[in-house]
Structure 1
């Protein structure tokens, strides 16, 4: 209980003054390091367009590290296997329930592994699809149809799924979308500028939502 109270106090300060984001380095063999230019580009876009003053270079943290409590926003991506051990699960669960936020962007291919690990993380919670009226789609930029489609893979619609605690969105899982690909340097995927801008705007909405919640 004492640890929980301390975490709450810490996150109260972070949401007021914390200006750094972090990338989650997970185990399992999946490429947690994919899209290396994505988050730095999103940070620059946010600083230029929504008034944030985020540190330009995101940090890298592991799920079991106490360092995650220094960052109100963690980003996770990849294509393959994901595995959380018991220490990872306990620490990450405490982080999220204490006010932290995790955005997981499926870079195509991690879904079956991730769902297994999320069930271990929150056995009594289900992923819930966010409707287009959720505040995350209505920050500075409005997405009337919800999560935009950035890259096509299987012809499936993009989905934004969340895990909630007492009404608070603490984990956002985006799939069949590839937001992170849209954040990368233009030369990486050669996306049309309009698509890339849409991805960055949606990403900035997520940041704005987290920092204002």
Structure 2
């Protein structure tokens, strides 16, 4: 058990992360995930849970970023891909599998929303056609350099990555993304990842030898998508402030956990949730 603490004075919040209570093997031992013990509301079957009313700010809230700009170079979907089941399921698993206090209601914000600085973690999905306007560029730069953490997920192939790289270059013209080595703590801080996980969309998942999962994801530009890449942009202290999950779709592993038992066991349990929990743990402790 590791005692984790938050060092993030630039944010207007008092979120406290206590000890992480889950061992690396816990996911695989569950078989099917337990969803009981909550208050089922209009959340597509995902239960809610009680939060401490006296400390409404002492919660981790999953924040998805809404963007309206299209016309990028790589194609792909939009900000609402996998919404809202992905965000609800991931929030539930954080609440169940760690001692983190989690808001049962994930939210959606735009980068220019003044509330952005109340939340230390934000999520952008399907950025193959994303083009920031100048106000978004400035807001994201200020957010990250003041201690915020951006996770980018679910885009495939060279042209979609190139679109995201160019947009991030506008945000950080003096910083370039680099491939994060498997030895980095973000792959091991809660769950000990033996490889960089690749999670395909559920309709692109394939069963290989011995039931082992693989991907049939294809890029619209025909480029190679066989290998997942995890890249980062860091601040002057070496803290990851942008974590880029390329040629993988962690969000589908969260959203689709209840649709197919094999996909759930092979991708949600082994890859999507462990990697997501590792990412959030890193974000909240650096």
Which TM class, normalised by the smaller chain length? 0.7 to 0.9
1:131 equivalent in structure 2: 181
2:82 equivalent in structure 1: 35
8 Å CA contact 1:64–1:89 kept in 2: the answer is no
8 Å CA contact 2:155–2:161 kept in 1: the answer is no
SS across alignment from 1:31: coil
* Post-superposition CA distance 1:125-147 (Å, at most 9, x none): 110111111111112210122x2
Query: How far off is 1:115 after superposition?
Result: 1.4
SS across alignment from 1:125: coil
Richer in helix (by share): 1
Query: How far off is 1:24 after superposition?
Result: 0.6
Matches within 5 A, 1:151-190: 151=200, 152=215, 153-154=217-218, 155-166=225-236, 167-187=238-258
Alpha-carbon distance in structure 2 between the residues aligned to 1:80 and 1:174: 13
Q: Does 1:197 align with 2:238?
A: no
Structure 1 segments (4+ residues) deviating >6 Å:
none
Q: How many residues align?
A: 205
1:55 equivalent in structure 2: 103
- Which of 95, 106, 112 is equivalent to 1:64? 112
Mean Cα displacement is larger for which, 14-23 or 131-140? Answer: 14-23
Give the number of the structure whose alpha-carbon radius of gyration is greater: 2
Alpha-carbon distance in structure 2 between the residues aligned to 1:136 and 1:113: 25
1:23 equivalent in structure 2: 64
Segments of 5+ residues of structure 2 without an aligned counterpart are 1-7, 17-57, 71-76, 201-214, 219-224
SS across alignment from 1:174: strand
SS across alignment from 1:186: coil
Mean Cα displacement is larger for which, 33-42 or 15-24? Answer: 15-24
Q: Does 1:148 align with 2:203?
A: no
Give me the CA root mean square deviation.
2.0
Query: How far off is 1:204 after superposition?
Result: 0.7
With the length of structure 2 as denominator, give the TM-score of the two structures: 0.67
8 Å CA contact 2:65–2:111 kept in 1: the answer is yes
8 Å CA contact 2:12–2:117 kept in 1: the answer is no
Mean Cα displacement is larger for which, 24-33 or 12-21? Answer: 12-21
Query: How far off is 1:120 after superposition?
Result: 0.4
2:42 equivalent in structure 1: none
With the length of structure 1 as denominator, give the TM-score of the two structures: 0.88
* Post-superposition CA distance 1:137-167 (Å, at most 9, x none): 112210122x201112244211110000121
